[in-house]
Amino acid sequence: HFMNPVYMKPSIEVIRGYLTSDETVEKAQSFLKQLDKDAIVVNDQTGFVSNRISHLFMNESAWVVMDGVATPKQVDDIFKKCFGHTMGPLETADLIGLDTVLHSLNVLYEEYQDPKFRCCPLLKKM
């Protein structure tokens, strides 16, 4: 599972499916090494590790903006300047595509039935 922007990310989230053999994982790791990428192997689950966590940041950031607590720039600046992220969550959502973020949040909500994955109305309007 490559992250955007791919050229800036040194690592790749590799999803090990229930029936994925060790040999297949090793081949994926070898291929990624040829691309100068580190493989982080995790087990398969809806949303993977990366989307389950990152999409919460994006969604909550939209809530913060909608509630008038901060501007989009302020939210992104906190992530970049205080947390050391290359991009803020709203910049990342824009890069990925808001339609993709909304779809992913809906899939996560349907799978886990957890209100934390309920889409912020502002994301739907953007």
Check 1, 55, 85, 103 and give the catalytic one: 1
The residues with which 25 forms a beta bridge, in sequence order, are none
Distance between CA 105 and CA 116 in Å, rounded?
9
Residue 1 annotated in active site: yes
- Cα dihedral value 81, 87, 91, 93, nearest 10: -130
Q: Active-site residue numbers?
A: 1
